[in-house]
Amino acid sequence: MQYLIALAGLVVLVSAVLAALGFRGRPQVVGIDLGTTFSVVALKATDGTVSIIPDHLSGKQLLPSVVTYMSNGKVLVGDLAVAQRGRHPERTIFNAKRFIGRELGEVSQETASHAYRVFGNFSDSSRDPSASDPKSSAGFGVELDGQKERWISPIDVGAEVVGHMRRSVSQYLGFEISRAVICVPAKFGFRETKATQEAFEHAGMKVMRILEEPTAAAVAYNLHKGEGVRHVLVYDIGGGTLDTSLLYMNGNSVSVLSVAGDDHLGGSDFDVQMLRLLTKKLEEGQVQIADPSAKENCESSGLHILAEDLKIRLSSQLQAETRCRHSDGKDRVFVVTREDFENASSELFSRAMAPVEKVLDDQMMSSEHISDVVLVGGASRTPKLRQLLQDFFGPSKRLHTEIDPDITVAWGAASVLD
């Protein structure tokens, strides 16, 4: 008995010392941004610092939200799935977030732009999927060896991505975490939000809290801790969509006043403009001919890869050069300036500012009413977009770009954890 009393006393003493040193045990909850193009998982350590957990296969912070269902039943996620898009486009599902929690009739404009089949769920296996009820849940058709076409829901796709991130967390920490704070777009309704939560639950994660993405972005910068009333504009432009949100913040009270956006404007659209610019230069002979050394060919697929790389480089350079291998065996060398690219993309830049004006008009407000502007999403790195936003809000308004815009939402989700 004396031994047990002494042991209990020792445990109490050690616990008190650890508490005094700020030790609060293992972190138990992660913040996850299940994105349209990329997904990110963040962790708030016991000392209050936030870090991004890298993918356990690639080591990258960003996990492509892409899933390939192989004919043998194997499922590939992330970069492994991206590598299959050219070989198995009909089996590789991307942009699943655009379909989650939605009816088939609501996504008719999306179906034509994807190589995989989109149709509604049906209980009668003999029914022709091409005649799916517009009111049925939108999903994807994948054929497996020796089986009928399988219907896969966006929830299933999301669960595969979340499950992959959960494995990354486990390998990174050395122990399991099964609880998460998650984020959804402010424009999501009940069905989309519920379906997103189900994707996490199917992956074995318990959802502790659901944040709207613009709120998470503002929290990442601790804007919710400011004094008095603040109006914050969150400008979120990723790979395929643009969302602009106007937030009202008063202490810890945060609410979304207005949302506007463009579901078909993002980094991929600027890639297409760069591709058109390269194609025009090639057709008009605005290139140099050089000895072969290029990895990519001058066909559309090769030029698309070069276009994305050029767009990224021109975010930090005023001029960039690239080359492709022509069918005659020689290389074609392109020189593209930032001005060339911005002129070619002028219509996109004009569309990119329209949602900003709309959210303010909806609340009968002007740029002077905005306290802070938060930039989110990889395409927000584009210098021209930042210039347009700075010009619109004036030189006195700060554009928050200190945190990597690709990880801001997940960072904010993790930041709300105590």
Q: Is the CB of residue 153 less than 8 Å from the CB of residue 183?
A: no
How far out from the chain centre does Cα 116 lie?
A: 20
Q: Is the CB of residue 413 less than 8 Å from the CB of residue 183?
A: yes
Q: Which of 160, 236, 262, 269 is catalytic?
A: 236
Q: Is the CB of residue 320 less than 8 Å from the CB of residue 313?
A: yes
- What is the C-alpha separation between 16 and 22, in angstroms, rounded? 10
Instruction: Compute the Cα dihedral for 290, 293, 297, 301 and give only its sign.
Output: negative
**Which DSSP symbol is given to 54?**
P
Does the annotation count 97 as an active-site position? yes
User: Edge-to-edge strand order for the sheet containing 242-250?
Assistant: 253-262, 242-250, 229-237, 372-376, 399-400
Which of 138, 153, 130 lies closest to 106 in space, CA to CA? 138
Residue tagged 């179906």 (tokens): 111
Q: Which helix (H) or strand (E) holds 142?
A: strand 138-142
Does the annotation count 368 as an active-site position? no
Q: Is the CB of residue 230 less than 8 Å from the CB of residue 218?
A: no
Does the annotation count 236 as an active-site position? yes
Q: Which of 44, 97, 311, 384 is catalytic?
A: 97
How far out from the chain centre does Cα 192 lie?
A: 16
Which of 324, 237, 241, 311 lies closest to 274 in space, CA to CA? 311
How far out from the chain centre does Cα 131 lie?
A: 32
Q: Which of 55, 192, 198, 213 is catalytic?
A: 213
HEC per residue, 278-332: HHHHHHCCCCEEECCCCCCECCHHHHHHHHHHHHHHCCCCCEEEEEEECCCCCEE
Burial string for 247-262 (b: 16+ CB within 10 Å, else e) reads bebeeeebebbbbbbb
- What is the C-alpha separation between 91 and 70, in angstroms, rounded? 7
Q: Is the CB of residue 61 less than 8 Å from the CB of residue 75?
A: no
- What is the C-alpha separation between 303 and 322, in angstroms, rounded? 10
Q: Would you please indicate which residues are annotated as catalytic (active-site) residues?
A: 33, 97, 213, 236
